[in-house]
Chain A
Amino acid sequence: MPQTPSHLPQSFRLRSGNQMMAEGALQAGCTFFAGYPITPATGIFKTMIDLLPARGGIALSAPDEISAIAYCIGASMRGYKAMTATSGPGWALMIESVQYALMTETPLVVALVQRLGPSTGGATQGAQGDVLLAEYCTSGGYTLPVLCPTNARECYELTILAFTWSELLRIPVILLSDKETGMTIESINDTSLSRSTSQNRPANFAFRDLGSYNRSDRRGTYYFDVPHEIPPFAPVGGDRKVTATGSAHDKQGRLQKNSTETLDVLKHLEQKIHWRLDDFVSVVSDLQPSATTLVVSYGVTARAAQSAVIQARNTGERISLLVIHSLFPIPVKKLTHALQGVDTVLVAEENISGLYRSVLERYCKGKKVRGVNKIGSMITPEEILVALFEEPWQPA
């Protein structure tokens, strides 16, 4: 629902998505940020440099992206919530260490602000071309949570959510933004932002519903009773011995080759997130009864999709819209619900081949699935309307 600013008292600020991501991180209790400059992600780094040290945290420059993410993982292992931010070329360098965080079950938030690729591509051109590079960056194709904001306010809210899930699941979470979402400055209704109290990560913290906090050291750094259980976190340097390793290991963190327990630990990395799939989902379902077309989009293109759907509905068309924030794991239940009664699915995203569409298609059996794709500039509402009606769009 559009809000009107005339309902006083309200206060607004002009902020970019990058700045709001930094603010969301602070709100979530992030105390450590290491970064390396790269357009279009630098604004997150710079805002952290401006805000974090004065609030008792650390924000510092690393000499390269590999160091930046490694410093964050080290700080997280020591017990402090950590974040870094980069774009495609820097992400390529960080992938090794993202896998290390996944394997060592180290909480971490990485903002990936997409620009035009491949290679150094276009530094000041937006794109949505890293969606599968973000998700499938691990050997073994393990699920990494990927959250994708569509505007500056969501940059704030989803960063908080990213920290929440990163901490609860002991997993790196990717915040997938893009040049336009990150660098466009918008009026933010400051009054409407969540201000729930943030906290530092407690030592020996575990899910309340999982019981037993008072395990002895002997049960190990990666101990779980059931595969979806999250091993209680203990900081390196705390009173409980930590045995962390990026190599295949047993529940105690001992290097093992193909023991049943080691394979169980690897499966657990996947099971711990899929068991909580329904809790993790974040989508905006704007469905219309008797609509036969569903528009699916995410990130900056979701705004064009929303605008197109509004225009089409104004002329009496019935169209459903699904904006997905939690791109991965795929919100299957919400998607299946949105697909009911629909015969055509239109997936709009700013890349050549329809990257996310290629993943969604397997859930759209029997439907006609089409894409609106483009590179170099934002997809416009008009282009989505043309694709919807397969003819030039004439506003009524």
Chain B
Amino acid sequence: MATGVTSVLPIHSTYLVDEPRFPFCKGCGHTSVLRRLNEALVELQIPPHRLALVTDIGCIGLADGLFKELHTVHTTHGRSTAFATGIALADSVLDKGSLKTVVLIGDGGAMIGLQHLVHAAVLNVDVTVIICDNFVYGMTGGQGSSVTPECFVTATTPAGNIVPPIDLCAILKASHAPFVARTLATDPTFPQLLQQAIAWEGFAVIEVLELCTEFAVPANNLDGRKLRDIADRNGWTLGVLADRKDRSTFVERWKEGVVKGNGGQVPGDEILRPVGKVPMLKHAKSVILAGSAGERVQSSAGLVCGAAIAGGLFVSQKNDNPVTQGSGFSVSELWFSPEEIVFTGIQRPDIVLITSSDGLKDVLSRSFLDRLDSSSVIYVDDSLPMQETKGIVHRFPFRRVLGAREAALGALVFAAVRQHLVSPEGLQEFLRKHYRGNVDELFARVDCLQETRTEVRA
């Protein structure tokens, strides 16, 4: 992409500042990496304001001050790839996709931010990561990193490193990175690889092996010629390790996915217009609906609340369940009110509906029954044992008549009509529009409930 515009733009002979002073130790590979990076950019003729150089913490992170017109973003340790991914995502999907994003990171940053590298590879965003791997944390005094070779002497492994180094390229190759290469900072093919990686449409990574002249070299009696031996000994193949043209970029897949998406709807989002001018209720009433997860307790509460809004009431629905979504209790605390609801909690419920033993356990654990008075009404499935309470207990065969799937909805429909929270016609009309089940059959079963009820004072 970037190379295609060279003919209309002035030639960029360098991207570095005038008389650059590289802040690295004598002989450090970082200077060479940055010179090669500059040469690659000159070769590609990328317009300077169309490249973001995102740098990590560590010596290589000092690079941002050396480039004159490029955008530079100096980040926190290990997170450079993640910030770059955000820039690239926004650029490719929300903007024109005209920006190249290049990350400079060390081996320490690559490990602390490994998940960011992995996810950038998986997403295949247009980010090029240059990992400057010199086997140690140079800026803090030469401590060992996760890529330090075995037996290597560092500040934190004075007797030699006793654990094997990770293979960053293998990890990223396994993460579907379409372009992966490993090279030595001094290798003559490095400039060519850099150009290839930056020009790559999508995620590209180059691991550049270097020697830290300040710490690694003196502690391990090394010189530049031994770098290739270290690579050989660790089985680190040099050259292009992955070159996958088959992978689509994130933005390509995103555009396909959005077309196939759900059309931007949120389930259950309906405009409800109050139809009756006078709400049925004169005073607010509270309802506890307690049942089992998976038995549509909270969705049933939502349906009846919707019908109540259509009937001119304000409602609130406070749900509770254990950490798991599909097991244990499921409870909705509901308010139906002719005025706006201030406090959504319920201390003394007017109506308690219990449709399963999970629901009963939760109601008991929260001492709702202890706080009831003689005006409170409890509708409980007749299979459940009930304790003494001041409320009036009505037992109904909710589960037997309605089945587990509709026990909660049926019980709430029954109670809402009986306690005049909603009009039966309004509720029926609302459910016909919003409930996927058979509304006629539901109401027939609820009617049947009334006929078979057994009222028992506990």
Binding site for B on A (CB under 8 A): 2-6, 8-15, 19, 31-32, 34, 39, 47, 50-58, 60, 62-64, 66-67, 70-80, 82, 96-97, 100, 104, 123-124, 180, 183-187, 190, 236-247, 253-255, 303-304, 306-307, 310, 377-378, 380-382
List 9 extra interface pairs beyond A237-B49, A254-B65, CB under 8 A.
A6-B279, A31-B94, A54-B264, A67-B116, A71-B86, A100-B76, A243-B64, A303-B342, A307-B343
Q: Is B374 an interface residue (CB 8 A)?
A: no
Mask for B53-68, Cβ within 8 A of A = 1, else 0?
Answer: 0000000001011000
With A50-B262, A63-B119 known to touch, is A13 a contact of B270 (CB < 8 Å)? yes
**Which of B83, B115, B265, B341 is close to A73, meaning CB atoms less than 8 Å apart?**
B83
Of A34, A74, A237, most buried by chain B (CB within 10 Å of CB) is A74
- Whether B265 lies near A50 (C-beta < 8 A) is yes
Q: Does B223 contact A (CB under 8 A)?
A: no
Indicate if B75 sits at the interface (CB-CB under 8 A).
yes
Contact A14 B264 (CB under 8 A): no
The CA-CA distance from A14 to B302 in the complex, in Å, is 8
Which residues of B come within 8 Å of A, CB atoms? 48-50, 52, 62, 64-65, 69-76, 79, 82-91, 93-95, 98-99, 115-116, 118-119, 254, 257-258, 261-274, 277-279, 302, 305-306, 309, 312-323, 338-345, 347
The residues of A that contact B48 with a CB separation of less than 8 Å are: 241
CA distance A267 to B152 in the complex (A): 45
Contact between B273 and A6, CB atoms less than 8 A apart: no
- Contact present for B87 and A75 (CB under 8 Å): yes
A375 to chain B, nearest CB (A): 15
User: A151 to chain B: closest CB distance in Å?
Assistant: 8
Residues of B within 8 A of A9 (CB): 273
Say whether, besides A13-B271, A66-B79, A79 and B264 are in contact (CB < 8 Å): no
| Distance A73 CA – B73 CA, assembled complex (angstroms) | 11
Contact of B323 among A50, A53, A97, A123 (CB under 8 A): A123
Chain B proximity of A96: nearest CB distance (Å): 6
- B319 x A14 contact (CB < 8 A): no
Nearest-CB distance from A22 to chain B (Å)? 8
Pick the residue among B83, B93, B258 that contacts A74 (CB under 8 A): B83
Q: Are A243 and B83 in contact (CB under 8 A)?
A: no
Note all chain A residues with C-beta closer than 8 A to B322.
Answer: 124
**A55→B264 contact, CB < 8 A:** yes
- The answer to whether A255 and B317 touch across the interface, beta carbons within 8 angstroms, is no
A52 to B65, CA, bound (A): 37
Least Cβ–Cβ distance between A9 and chain B, in angstroms: 7
Pairwise interchain contact A237-B99, C-beta atoms closer than 8 A:
yes
Q: A6-B278, A64-B115, A247-B74 are in contact. Are A34 and B316 (CB under 8 A)?
A: no
Query: A79 contacts which chain B residues (CB < 8 A)?
Result: 90, 95
Contact A14 B50 (CB under 8 A): no
Contacts of B338 in A (CB 8 A): 4
Nearest-CB distance from A264 to chain B (Å)? 20
CA of A56 to CA of B342, assembled, Å:
37
In the complex, which residues of chain A have a beta carbon less than 8 angstroms from the beta carbon of B93?
58
A71: nearest chain-B partner, CB-CB: B86
B72 touches A6 (CB 8 A): no
Task: Please determine whether B76 and A237 come into contact, CB atoms closer than 8 angstroms.
Answer: no
Q: Is the CB of B266 within 8 A of A50?
A: yes
A75 in complex: contacting residue of B62, B72, B86, B306, CB < 8 Å = B86
Contact between A187 and B89, CB atoms less than 8 A apart: no
Contact B94 A12 (CB under 8 A): no
With A4-B338, A5-B314, A307-B342 known as contacts, the answer to whether A77 contacts B87 (CB < 8 A) is: yes
Cα A62 to Cα B64 in complex, Å, equals: 27
Q: Is the CB of B345 within 8 A of A80?
A: no
Q: When chains A and B are docked, how far (Å) is the Cα of A184 from the Cα of B262? A: 25
CA distance A243 to B73 in the complex (A): 6
For A64, the chain B residues whose CB sits under 8 A away are 115
Scoring B88, B277, B320, B343 by chain A CB atoms within 10 A of each residue's CB, the highest score goes to B343
Q: Across the interface, which residues of B come within 8 angstroms of A186, CB to CB?
A: 314-317, 341, 344
Q: Is the CB of B323 within 8 A of A378?
A: no
Q: Measured between C-beta atoms, what is the minimum distance from A208 to chain B in Å? A: 25
| Cβ–Cβ < 8 Å partners of A254 in chain B | 65
Q: Which residues in A have their C-beta under 8 angstroms from that of B318?
A: 180, 183-185
Complex CA distance for A74 and B269, rounded to whole angstroms: 32
Chain A residue with Cβ nearest B254: A58
Q: How far is the CB of A358 from chain B (nearest CB, A)?
A: 25
Q: Are A74 and B86 in contact (CB under 8 A)?
A: yes
Q: Which residue of A lies closest to B312 (CB)?
A: A5
| Closest partner residue, chain B, to A39 (CB atom) | B323
B266 and A185 form a contact (CB under 8 A): no
- Contact partner of B86 (CB less than 8 A), chosen from A39, A77, A96, A378, is A77
Whether A5 lies near B342 (C-beta < 8 A) is no
* Residue from A75, A190, A240 within 8 A of B94 (CB atoms): A75
List 15 interface pairs A-B (beta carbons < 8 Å), by A numbering: A6-B277, A12-B274, A14-B302, A66-B115, A72-B86, A73-B83, A80-B90, A185-B316, A186-B315, A187-B305, A187-B309, A187-B316, A237-B91, A243-B71, A253-B72
* Interface pair A241/B268, CB less than 8 Å apart: no
- Residue in contact with A2 in the complex, picked from B70, B75, B339, CB distance below 8 Å: B339
Asked if residues B73 and A236 are in contact (CB atoms below 8 Å), the reply is yes
- Cα A100 to Cα B73 with chains together (Å): 11
Indicate whether A237 sits within 8 Å of B320 (C-beta atoms), given known contacts A13-B270, A57-B94: no
Among residues of B, the one whose C-beta sits closest to the C-beta of A239 is B49
Contacting residues, chain A, for B82 (C-beta < 8 A): 66-67, 70-71, 74
C-alpha spacing A187/B279, complex, angstroms: 15
